[in-house]
Homo-oligomer: A and B are copies of this chain.
Amino acid sequence: MNHCFSVAVLGATGAVGAEFLRLFETREFPIRSLRLLASERSAGKVLKFKGEDVTVQAATAAAFEGVDVAFFSAGASRALEFAPAALKAGALVVDNSSAFRMDPAVPLVVPEINLNAVGPTDRLIANPNCSAIIMLMAVAPLRKLGKIERVIVSTYQSASGGGASMMQELEEQTREVLAGQPARPNVLPHPYAFNLFSHNTPINQHGYNGEEWKVIEESRKILGMPELRINVTCVRVPVLRAHSQSITVEFVDHAPDLEEIRSVLAASPGVKVVDDRANNRFPTPLDASGNDDVLVGRIRRDVSHPSAISMFVSGDQLLKGAALNAVQVAEAVLARA
């Protein structure tokens, strides 16, 4: 990348927005000018970038004029509202919402897995659901070792998936409960302190909630396996910012050798194998927090199936699950230009 770009962040004041600013600095993203956009309510806030104050502006269509790269992290309705203006301005748009993910005309990309889905003229790219990204970082590399027949996933999802307000609710409610006060749910329908619950998205006619269905559909699209058999159970746990998952993968013929699996995963960019049986050291969300890598461990044969393996993963929901993946998408697309 020899050029510097005019960059905009839509949703700059959220939990993912803060990670964008940090990643632009640590990854030396080639920024000429930075525009921070948010709702009317957040306009006027001042955020720090490279030690300097940047004032947040209210998002309008005109705010995207002259922007080369726009990162959207403001929900589906904002994405639908502002994508046309940003694209018309000529920007490369990476959208973190669900608005365009299943649009056949829009690539849905995890760069380590399917960067080839981005065509030469694509300017709008969808960033996948956080649980889908984290699961696929561990599962996709296994395709080198055998054809995947079926995936069964149970998640342990953190508060950050619901944004800064849900993280705050977890901390404040836990403080109140420890002080002997009753749990008073505000953002969430359920008490969250020392509790967990089935993901609070609506249940569809198949009995799956919205989060589970996203993981199912998006995984099929990203892997290019529209018939992939996949069962997902999404559960919110009282953890702040990294998602964990218990994953079983069934292969068509036979399960790959465990050492081959460890080698392939260890060689996969963005994956770190943490699988120390002797010392009982495996992935934890606390170890994954602030870590670019998705941690994978508990790699073992599934004793209940002749050609299946199980594993346990933890990945930072705000990084690889959101901001980091989006920045990597932009970096890769800009590098190809």
Contacts and interface: CB of A to CB of B under 8 A. Distances in A.
A285 B235 contact: no
A150 interface: yes
Interface in A293-312: 297-305, 308, 310, 312
Contacts of A278: 203
A312 B203 CA distance: 14
Nearest to A198: B282
A295 to B, nearest CB: 11
Nearest to A238: B238
A268 interface: no
Contact of A304 (B171, B230, B277, B312): B230
Interface stretch (A81-89, A135-143, A189-197): A189-197
A286 B248 contact: no
A175 B175 CA distance: 7
A12 interface: no
B198 A312 contact: yes
B303 A208 contact: yes
Given A178-B178, A300-B206, A196 B244 contact: yes
Interface in A184-238: 189-191, 194-198, 200, 202-203, 206-209, 216, 229-231, 233, 235, 237-238
* Interface residues of chain A: helix, strand, loop or mixed (majority): mixed
A152 interface: yes
A308 B283 CA distance: 29
A312 B209 CA distance: 13
Contact of A231 (B277, B280, B286, B305): B305
Contacts of A208: 300, 303
A285 B170 CA distance: 16
Interface string A96-125: 000000000000000000000000000000
Interface in A274-328: 277-278, 280, 282-286, 297-305, 308, 310, 312
A156 interface: yes
A202 B280 contact: yes
Given A198-B282, A207-B299, A286-B194, A178 B189 contact: no
Contacts of A244: 196, 235
A285 B237 CA distance: 11
Nearest to A282: B198
A237 B203 CA distance: 25
A334 to B, nearest CB: 36
A233 B301 contact: no
A280 B189 contact: yes
A239 interface: yes
Given A196-B244, A231-B308, A238-B239, 8 more contacts: A150-B304, A156-B196, A196-B284, A208-B303, A229-B304, A231-B302, A231-B303, A235-B246
Interface of A: 150-152, 154, 156, 170-171, 174-175, 178, 183, 189-191, 194-198, 200, 202-203, 206-209, 216, 229-231, 233, 235, 237-240, 244, 246, 248, 258, 277-278, 280, 282-286, 297-305, 308, 310, 312
